[in-house]
Amino acid sequence: MVPSMTFFKFVVVFSFLSLTTATTYNVVTLGAVGDGKTDSTKSFLNAWVAACGSKTPATIYVPSGRYLLGKTIFDGQCKNDAITFRIDGTLVAPSNYNVLGNDGNWLVFEHVSGVSILGGTLDGQGTGLWACKNAGMGCPIGATTLKISNSDNILINGLTSLNSQMFHILINGCENVMVQRVKVLASGNSVNTDGIHVSYSTGVNILNTIIATGDDCISIGPGTSNLWIENITCGPGHGIR
């Protein structure tokens, strides 16, 4: 088995369209502040509503800076199937782990098609929660940094996930997902911080990726088929299983 050529063709065509014809929505223009302290959740959601409602390809641009976001759900169904998140900055979770600790997920894309996430860093700020768990205190379960759910034709390229509270990237109920040139970084004593978890999905390709975490580098859940994993650097971590 080899990675899907159909998906590669989709990536090439989609990238060309999004670079040449896309309307761009800059989150700073819409009110986001890259100081790492000001809650920019509303500005990101406003950018998503505009991009999702566009009948032509759209780009959401995140300039350099640190943007504080609470739990954020980017939901379809959109009027186009070519939305690019181009991230030059860092998205930052609240430093108080109790804010997201019982929400399950931090950033969620669900019921979307043709979304690309390019570059940038997602900082889950999970170190405090790991310390709480390692001390055996009463702690929340924690939030997965990025969940892609019930979606298709997704590209994640050049993204860094740093210090997630729980799983870094969760792909669930999806079809045709390309993950490449991703970095997943957390210390070896981080708890339940699987790098990439795939479940109930088909046609997922994970290529040329570096994963250093305290749990499984890649974990494979039930309902997964046509999964291709190639050129992965794993460690620390518990391998691929």
Q: So which residues are the catalytic ones?
A: 215, 238
pLDDT band, very low/low/confident/very high, at 22 (cuts 50, 70, 90)? confident
pLDDT band, very low/low/confident/very high, at 57 (cuts 50, 70, 90)? very high
Do residues 150 and 119 lie in contact, with contact meaning Cβ atoms separated by under 8 Å? no
pLDDT band, very low/low/confident/very high, at 21 (cuts 50, 70, 90)? confident
pTM: 0.92
Q: How far apart are CA 171 and CA 196, in angstroms?
A: 8
Q: Does the pLDDT value for residue 81 go beyond 80?
A: yes
Q: Does the pLDDT value for residue 5 go beyond 90?
A: no
Q: Does the pLDDT value for residue 194 go beyond 80?
A: yes
